[in-house]
């Protein structure tokens, strides 16, 4: 069944029940019009099963230079047969179109990081308005929300499924769903205000964020991994028939203390220059170990970068040019 484009412009009127059972419909959410006439909004893909069941919300493209999740959503939606599912999949493949069409992490319109302004404001900047409408017209419908990210243009990372560690029912669902996703690394970390979770938690929606390899690429195997993960979580939610992981993966860390999970705060460049790593992704390093070097434009060594603590290289800068303050690697305590 092909998706039928369907114009749509009022947040209050959106409900998954607007889609008849057994259909796939594409809605367009218009948010605002810029002074140059450009329309700002996002597209919503809704696959409603023949039978009632849970609602899974999946989003990608909150950062404009992270592509794997966008393609995974498009392909999952295209391949889904609503006759075969229970409940409803609501997916927004590109939340932040201004950033996407600028090939950038942040929006070129207000220079804001969309993952720092949730739950947004109805009368705020463009990014704040996008966050507001995603929160109150999309995220609120979820029994579970999955936010797909990747390392972006300048980094690569070891793929993981993450969540904010918290207590009670939400935590149990998050952990079970993260396990079901099927990756070999789960990283539960501290709550960070401003991310999409500041929207989904307003409605007490359990939330996963998934990170892929990035480097500005969209590798076929990464897209497939994400698609399988989404399908396994749908099976966990009893939306699809199929198997899913039930036991902890080989790499599992849950810690909500301090800045755990905040990637950009360690191993910073002290200079403008050229960074060459001496380590590989997922390599184990000891505290104090030399992990890279910053060179001047003339090739002189400006800074030897040492591991600030022991663990594995979970994020690694792949773009050699750096400016002072750029983070170079993140080490997970595993």
Q: Which secondary structure element, helix H or strand E, spans residue 136, and what is its range?
A: helix 126-137
Nearer to Zn ion, 94 or 291 (CB): 94
Q: How far apart (Å, rounded) are the C-alpha atoms in residues 37 and 60?
A: 25
State the virtual CA torsion across 15, 95, 128, 106 in degrees, nearest 10: 170
- The footprint of Zn ion (CB under 5 A) covers 63, 66, 149
CB of 260 to Zn ion, least distance (A): 18
Nearer to Zn ion, 138 or 212 (CB): 212
Nearer to Zn ion, 91 or 307 (CB): 91
CB of 91 to Zn ion, least distance (A): 17
**Exposed e or buried b per residue across 243-258, where buried means at least 16 C-beta atoms within 10 angstroms of its C-beta:** ebbeeebebbbeeeee
Nearer to Zn ion, 66 or 68 (CB): 66
CB of 81 to Zn ion, least distance (A): 30
Nearest to Zn ion by Cβ — which residue? 149
CB of 23 to Zn ion, least distance (A): 31
Nearer to Zn ion, 29 or 105 (CB): 105
CB of 298 to Zn ion, least distance (A): 35
Nearer to Zn ion, 24 or 149 (CB): 149
- Using only C-alpha atoms, the chain has a radius of gyration, in whole angstroms, of 20
Nearer to Zn ion, 63 or 312 (CB): 63
β 51-60/86-92 pair status? parallel
Quote the DSSP letter at residue 280. Answer: -
CB of 326 to Zn ion, least distance (A): 16
User: Are 261 and 269 contacting, i.e. CB atoms less than 8 angstroms apart?
Assistant: no
* CB-based contacts of 121, cutoff 8 Å, min separation 6: 128, 129, 131, 132
25 forms bridges with which residues in the sheet? 4, 46
Q: How far apart (Å, rounded) are the C-alpha atoms in residues 173 and 199?
A: 17
Let me know if 79 is exposed, middle or buried by CB neighbors in 10 A (0-12, 13-18, 19+).
exposed
CB of 103 to Zn ion, least distance (A): 14
């Amino acid at each position: 069944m092909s998706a039928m484009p369907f114009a749509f412009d009022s947040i209050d009127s959106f409900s998954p029940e607007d889609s008849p059972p057994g259909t796939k419909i594409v809605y367009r959410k218009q948010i605002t019009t810029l002074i140059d006439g450009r329309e700002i909004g996002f597209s919503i893909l809704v696959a409603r099963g023949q039978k009632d069941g849970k609602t899974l919300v999946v989003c990608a493209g909150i950062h404009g230079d992270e592509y794997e999740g966008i393609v995974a959503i498009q392909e999952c939606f295209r391949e889904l047969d609503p006759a075969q599912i229970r409940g409803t999949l609501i997916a927004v493949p590109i939340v932040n179109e201004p950033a996407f069409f600028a090939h950038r992490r942040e929006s070129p319109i207000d220079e804001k990081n969309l993952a720092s302004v949730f739950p947004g404001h109805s009368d705020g900047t463009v990014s704040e308005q996008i966050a507001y409408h995603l929160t109150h017209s999309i995220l609120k419908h979820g029994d579970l929300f999955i936010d797909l990210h990747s390392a972006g243009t300048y980094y690569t990372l070891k793929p993981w499924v993450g969540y904010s560690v918290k207590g009670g029912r939400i935590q149990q669902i998050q952990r079970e769903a993260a396990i079901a996703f099927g990756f070999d690394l789960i990283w539960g970390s501290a709550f960070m205000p401003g991310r999409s979770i500041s929207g989904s938690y307003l409605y007490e929606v359990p939330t996963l964020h998934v990170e892929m390899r990035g480097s500005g690429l969209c590798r076929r195997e990464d897209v497939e991994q994400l698609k399988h993960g989404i399908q396994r979580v749908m099976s966990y939610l009893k939306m699809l028939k199929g198997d899913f992981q039930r036991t902890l993966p080989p790499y599992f860390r849950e810690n909500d203390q301090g800045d755990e999970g905040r990637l950009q705060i360690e191993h910073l460049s002290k200079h403008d220059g050229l960074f060459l790593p001496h380590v590989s992704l997922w390599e184990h390093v000891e505290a104090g170990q030399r992990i890279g070097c910053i060179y001047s434009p003339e090739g002189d060594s400006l800074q030897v970068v040492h591991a600030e603590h022991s663990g594995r290289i979970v994020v690694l800068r792949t773009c050699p040019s750096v400016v002072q303050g750029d983070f170079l690697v993140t080490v997970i305590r595993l």
